[in-house]
Structure 1
Amino acid sequence: MPIRLVSLILAIFCVGTAELVPSGMLHELSDDLAVSISTAGLLVAVYALTMAFGGPLVTLLTTRIERRALMTGLLVFSVIGNVVSATAGNYTVLVVGRIITAMIHGTFVALCVVTAGSMVPKEKAGSAVAATQLGINLATVLGVPLGTFVGQHFGWRTTFGTIAVLGVAAALLVFLTVPKAKGATDNSGVSRELKVFRKWNVLGTIVATALCSGGMFTLITYMVPLLTDVSGFADSWVPGLLIAYGVGSIVGNMIGGKLADRALMASLIGLSALLTLTCALYCLVSPVMALSGVFVFLFSVATFALIPGLQTRVLSTAADAPTLSLTANMSAFGVGAAVGSWYGGEVIDLGFGVRGVPLAAAVLVALGTLVIVQLAFSERRRDKAKPTPRSEPVAVALSGSNES
């Protein structure tokens, strides 16, 4: 694997770990900062909302900056955010650190995808871009479990400090290995690309993404308390269980990509329904330690199998505006993450307890499934309504008369 690609994977690993690691340290954050579990969980929501709404703004403001310099600068900005988090004396300062780190997330990941594709021949661009996603998988498999382990034994501040050090290394690698490339200098296409969101095909898919992401993060945010407080696992088991979750993410990603290539809408319906069922069943089996461990893996597989299809669907329905649609889809995941982490906390505070979180997650994913089903039926009706070759001249003529 080229060193340039390795530097991108390491960088995404740092950014992804910074995003996800608080969910593995909720008990430590809650105890040390004297806040409730649900309030500590809002750190995930703050990050997600900042990423969702700040990302597109950062992208628009930095389009004229040379790509390598921009990527390095964004990583340095992320390091500053993690240093603020590591040295935070109270919850408010920690929130500020999370906001600083989250501001660069969407823009940086998008730049990595574009850069990976530009560094290889066209026939290998897809493989290079896919390889960058390994950074997110590694963040799930290694970053979060290791960060949780460090947080349990050396304190949560050490976790954020370690991420900051790795971020410095990633920034140096990116600066030394990624070739220079001009940033985009023409913003005239933005208003044109915005028109793509008038299509329900595009907008509906983004809504489904936000709902399914909301369900995912409802459970992801409170997974550790669910494992310890409901299933009865000791804290020492948590890093191992999170590694199993990370392995499931890689397996799911592979399965989801292949299914999306074969039958996109059918796979989206089936996988979203499977994720709904998995969350609902997890609510039932969560008090049984052995079954709870199995469902952590199954939930991860179902979650990460669904994500590639959602991304592919957005890009395929918004082919005229791929850059903007990709940004919007990332924002949808961010909004879903924010809603899910807040929603899970509300479920706990309303008296349903941590055990009610998986069922609450199932409700959001089920709503996303309904939207996907509606989109599939709508697409099928359009396909049936398409004129046959013989009637095409008539359809064109009618279309021309309407436009005139």
Structure 2
Amino acid sequence: MRSRMAVLILAIFCVGTAELAPSGMLGDLAEDLSVTIPTAGLLVTVYALTVVVAGPLVTAASTRIRRKYLLVALLLVSVAGNVLSSLAPTFALLVAGRMLTAVIHGTFLAVCVVTAGGMAAEGKEGSAVAATQLGVNLATVLGVPLGTLVAQQLHWRATFGSVAVLALAAAALILLVIPDDGRTAGSSAAHELRVFKEWQVVGTVLATVLCSAGMFTLITYMVPLLTDVGGFPAAWVPAVLVAYGIGSVAGNALGGRYADRSADRAVLRLSWTLAAVCLLYWAAAPYAAGGAVFLLLFSMATFALIPGLQTKVLSAAADAPTLSLTANMSAFGLGAALGSWAGGRLIDQGLGTRAVTLGAAAFTALGALLIAQTVYAGRRRAAATAAAAEPATATAATAAPAS
């Protein structure tokens, strides 16, 4: 099982690095392709919007494909997208490469999460989700800083090319290591759609959009926030990004264990924690040391929240998890698009890069309010169900013959 999980983590690492890599080399991209930094930031926006639109469509179209071969096929599409990105002579073709890479994102991660959840012991679903999220954490810990370093030492094109080669290797390992158990990616699309009648699913997905918007308002511009606002030397940025990634791994592990105990309690408390960290980051941003510390805290809070959101959706849609998880992946993508766009607009309006921390806090606080509503609505529903069951239980007990 460990070797299978390691292969899944490697594959997720490739997909996660492809998503996040532009955040660490916006300056190089902007200079080489003669666009502004906010325009280069649209690479994150376009990727995210593609995930939003394509994820549910790809999932609905692939529910009958066996998981193993679906994972391989999706990774090969990602390879093609990264190759196109590495060779693109213009910004428009780079955008096209990013879109091709993003097409598989939501479905791929959803199938990985469902697979990991199916292998987990009862009560350990949060840790299983966190294990798959480790691939994204490693993309942050290793992929983004190494991609930034490669871009600085060689070229940003070499970063995309390296991801393509590694993703090809991951596809080969899936063929070799992951067994074909005959399971498909999901049930019929019509069956999977029924879970969206549940407010706990829909409300959590909407809250994911808002929390993700808060995350990516800051994530997209974290390098300019460090260098332009905090005065951090550019040469030290990869080291800070490594620390950011280490924080994400720690946060992911803590968030998974917290979600094992109660996904509702985890997402409620951690969403407010993330909002508070973003707000305090505004005060610390002008100081190099303070900005680095709060970037670490931000990474821990962000990645602690993600397993809880995924686990909450997984438990609420246990009967048909694949499409609901893909929708939640799309929610992360929509939030990323909204957040990266909003961060760019804050900068373009003359508020400065520092203002992205306040935008992040506002989005996350709105998400926390919606999470609170879903949690309390779920508790009221559970209480009402229990109250309705009490008279029936009492009646049955009264009617039962004495032994």
- Normalization by structure 1: what TM-score? 0.91
Residue 48 in structure 1 maps to residue 48 in structure 2: yes
Alpha-carbon displacement from aligned partner over 1:180-203 (angstroms, at most 9, x marks no partner): 243539854x32332322232221
Q: Does 1:310 align with 2:313?
A: no
Q: Residue 104 of structure 1 corresponds to which residue in structure 2? A: 104
Larger deviation: 74-83 or 171-180?
171-180
- Structure 2 distance, partners of 1:197, 1:7, is 31
Q: How far does residue 170 in structure 1 lie from its aligned partner after superposition?
A: 1.3
CA shift in 2, pair 1:76/1:376, >3 Å: closer
Cα gap change, 1:316/1:6 in structure 2, threshold over 3 Å: closer, same or farther? Answer: closer
Flag the 1:105–1:390 CA change in 2: closer, same or farther, 3 A.
closer
* 1:28 aligned partner: 28
Counterpart residue number, 1:301 = 300
Deviation for aligned residue 1:264: 3.2
Aligned twin of 1:399: none
1:145 aligned onto 2:145 = yes
Instruction: After TM superposition, give the deviation of residue 76 of structure 1 in Å.
Output: 1.6
Structure 1 residues 327-342: aligned runs within 5 Å? 327-342=326-341
Per-residue Cα deviation, 1:106-161 (whole angstroms, up to 9, x for no partner): 2222233344566x686799566653332111111100010011111211001111
What secondary structure is seen at the aligned counterpart in 2 of 1:35?
Answer: coil
Alpha-carbon distance between aligned partners in 1 of 2:395 and 2:99, rounded to the nearest angstrom: 52
| Residues 55-110 of structure 1, C-alpha deviations (whole Å, 9 max, x = no match) | 22112222333433332222121111111100110100000000111111122222
Is the 8 Å Cα contact of residues 346 and 352 (structure 2) preserved in structure 1?
A: yes
Aligned partner of 1:52: which letter?
A: V
1:132 maps to 132
User: Which residue is equivalent to 1:159?
Assistant: 159
* RMSD over aligned Cα atoms: 2.4
2:18 pairs with 1:18: yes
1:73 to 1:232, Cα distance in 2 relative to 1, 3 A: same
AA paired with 2:231?
A: G
For residue 262 of structure 1, what is the aligned residue in structure 2? Answer: 261
Q: Distance in 1 between matches of 2:291 and 2:219?
A: 14
Question: What residue is the counterpart of 1:231 in the other structure?
Answer: 230
Q: Contact conserved, 1:211 with 1:365, CA < 8 A, in 2?
A: yes
How far residue 291 of structure 1 moved from its aligned partner, in angstroms, is 0.5
More displaced 10-residue stretch of structure 1: 127-136 or 329-338:
127-136
Read off the aligned partner of 1:23 and give its amino acid letter.
S
SS at match of 1:64: coil
Identity %: 58
Could you say if the C-alpha distance between residues 239 and 379 of structure 1 is closer, same or farther in structure 2, counting changes exceeding 3 Å? same
Cα deviation, 1:283-340, whole Å, max 9, x if unaligned, reads 1110011111100100011111111111122222223322222111111111111111
**Alpha-carbon distance between aligned partners in 2 of 1:186 and 1:267, rounded to the nearest angstrom:** 27
Q: Using a 3 Å threshold, how does the CA distance of structure 1 residues 122 and 303 change in structure 2: closer, same or farther?
A: closer
Contact 1:214 1:338 in 2 (8 A): yes
Amino acid at match of 2:36: S
CA contact (8 A) 1:214 1:336 kept: yes
Distance 1:185 1:49, change over 3 A: closer
Contact 1:65/1:182, CA 8 A, preserved across alignment: no
> What is residue 400 of structure 1 aligned with on the other side?
none
SS in 2 for 1:133: helix
1:242-287 alpha-carbon deviations (Å, 9 max, x no partner): 1111111111112212222334333322211111111111111100
Structure 1 window deviating more from structure 2 (133-142 vs 89-98): it is 133-142
Task: Give the whole-Å Cα distance in 2 for the aligned partners of 1:98 and 1:186.
Answer: 27
Kept after mapping to 2: 8 A contact 1:116/1:125: no
Letter paired with 2:324: S
Tell me, yes or no, if the aligned pair for 2:46 and 2:98 is still in contact at 8 Å.
yes
- Partner-residue secondary structure (3-state), 1:293: helix
The 1:282–1:319 alpha-carbon spacing in structure 2 relative to 1, beyond 3 Å, is same
Aligned partners of 1:358, 1:161: CA distance in 2, in Å?
32
**With structure 2 as the length reference, what TM-score do the two structures score?**
0.91
1:2-401 equivalences in 2 (<5 Å): 2-116=2-116, 130-182=130-182, 184=184, 188=188, 190-386=189-385, 387=387, 389-392=389-392
Q: Describe the shift of the 1:268–1:131 C-alpha distance in structure 2 as closer, same or farther (beyond 3 A).
A: closer
Contact persistence 1:74–1:104 (CA under 8 A): yes
- Alignment partners' CA distance in 1, 2:138 and 2:288: 26
Once residues 254 and 145 of structure 2 are traced to their aligned partners in structure 1, the CA distance between those partners, rounded to angstroms, is 23
Q: Is the 8 A contact 2:130 2:253 kept in 1?
A: no
Q: Partner amino acid for 1:98?
A: R
Structure 2 unaligned regions, length at least 5: 397-403
> Structure 1 residues 53 and 342, CA, compared in 2 at 3 Å: closer, same or farther?
same
The 1:265/1:109 distance shift into structure 2, 3 A limit, reads: closer
Structure 1 pair 288–107 and aligned structure 2 pair: CA distance change class (3 A): same
Q: 1:193 to 1:180 in 2, by over 3 A?
A: closer
CA distance, structure 1, for counterparts of residue 273 and residue 355 of structure 2: 19
Alignment length (residue pairs)? 394
